[in-house]
Amino acid sequence: MSKQVVIDFIDAINKHDLDRMFDLMTEDHIFINSHGKRSEEKKSMKQGWKGYFEFFPDYTIEINEITENDSVIGIFGYASATYMNKRNKKNSNYWHLPSAWKAVVSDGKVKLWQVFTDTKVPYEIIEQHIS
């Protein structure tokens, strides 16, 4: 059951369905980014994801493998996106990176969502457009 909750959460992420994502989060939801920064307010999650989807309107998670140990789920695959959908001939605004996620499910909802990926390429792409 925990694994299906995480699959549903990823489906909501891939569809950029903020309401469904929000519904699948516990009230005490914790998000931890690749740099270890924690966000512990569910209310801020909706705004945070909305902003992320504005930067990366085609953000997608591809699942290659999922492991489950009770309520802890490990997800392995790729994350990809194009910065602000600004496509060019070299496709230099697009990234596709190996990534992993840790999820903890409690009472049928995602209590923890932690991301593990190298953010160097996406940050470099953003920097090229704001400098």
Mean pLDDT, residues 91-98 = 84
Could you tell me the pTM of the whole model? 0.89
CATH code, 83: 3.10.450.50
- pLDDT at residue 54 above 70? yes
pLDDT tens per residue, range 21-42: 999 999 999 999 999 999 998 8
pLDDT tens per residue, range 56-70: 999 999 999 999 999
Q: Pairing mode, if any, of strands 25-32 and 72-82?
A: unpaired
SS3 string of 63-114? EEEEEEECCEEEEEEEEEEEHHHCCCCCCCCEEEEEEEEEEEEECCEEEEEE
Report how many domains make up the chain.
Answer: 1
Structural domain harbouring 86: 2-130
What share of the chain has pLDDT > 70, as a percent?
91
Amino acid at 36: G
Mean pLDDT of all residues in the chain? 90
